Amino acid sequence: MGSSDSGSLPVWIGFTLFVLAMLALDLGVFHRRAHVVRTAEALAWSGVWITLSLLFCAGVWHWDGAEKGLEFLTAWLVEKSLSVDNLFVFLVTFSYFGVGADLQHRVLVWGVLGALVMRAAFIFAGGAILHAFHFVLYALGAFLVFTGARLLFQKEIAVHPEHNPVLRLFRRLVPAVADYRGARFVVREGGRLLATPLLFVLVVIEASDIMFAVDSIPAVFGITEDVFVVYTSNIFAILGLRALYFVLAGYLGRFVYLRVGLAVVLAFVGAKMLASAWVKVPILMSLGVVAVLIGGSVAASLIWGGKARREGPAEQARD
């Protein structure tokens, strides 16, 4: 794993300006008004973000060498794969709160913006801690192995937004109106600002992302300790998350074996971190393992997932 930061100050500034420009184009031109995102539109934007990610990877490869390019590609693939769990939370949260299809995009826009800020804070803090206290790497490795094992052997997780402690505290502290007011998060009534249910939805989305970041960011540090690679791969994965949701929303239930693939990926990266003092796993091998595990779990879901979904209710009934 590389430990140096490949990004110089001009590169950091340039990347930041690029992200801001893309967000301004996305939000200020193409998605100024709340609307129902159709599959064709979502596919187009998902293709845009994937293409930009791969072009950036090619740039890293050209300027910083093949190893850095492979580190970025592996880190991006890991983060992109782990983000699928976020999509399940989006789906359940929107269903629980009865969020209309025309409002979901607006929530995800602000959710992604909040995630970008929080992920940046986590990554820079994590990079500083690893630089000062390298032994933390082994603690993170053990945590990822434990998380992978827990994910592998636990039963399917039921997401209950109403039990989210952040949401319950927010509801207790923030006065609110009972019904939606279009795409507004707050309204002014009786001389005071009141939250709408849409703001509660955003709170759940942001709180959930923090929980997922606890797993995904250490996993990416297990691929590379280069903060620039960790940050940029995370940003590209998060920026494409909104479009990916609208592409996969109707198909998420089909990926019944993806959780197994993600669990083994986490365990593999954790074991790699634990063994890093004695064994250096080539980054090309790491990329191959991650790609095979994720691709294999998706393929297994598509081939045998229908049978597993049909047997699921019967198994639960026996439990």
Q: Is pLDDT of 98 > 50?
A: yes
Q: Name the residue type at position 12.
A: W
Average pLDDT over every residue of 261-285: 90
pLDDT in the model for residue 268: 93
On average, the pLDDT of the chain sits at: 83
pLDDT of residue 3 exceeding 50, the answer is: no
Reported as a pLDDT band with limits 50, 70 and 90, residue 311 is low
Q: For position 1, what pLDDT does the model report? A: 43
User: Would you tell me the crossing angle of helices 84-97 and 66-82 to the nearest 10 degrees?
Assistant: 30
User: Are 174 and 195 in contact, with CB atoms under 8 Å apart?
Assistant: yes
Mean pLDDT of 255-272: 89
% of the chain residues with pLDDT over 90: 29
282 has a pLDDT exceeding 80: yes
Radius of gyration of the chain (CA): 20
Residue 318 reports pLDDT greater than 50: no
pLDDT band at 315 (very low <50, low <70, confident <90, very high): very low
Query: What Cα–Cα distance (Å) separates residue 174 from each residue in 59, 160, 180, 197, 262?
Result: 46, 21, 16, 11, 37
Segment 75-99 shows an average pLDDT of 85
Per-residue pLDDT tens over the stretch 165-210: 878 888 888 888 888 888 889 999 888 889 998 998 999 888 888 8
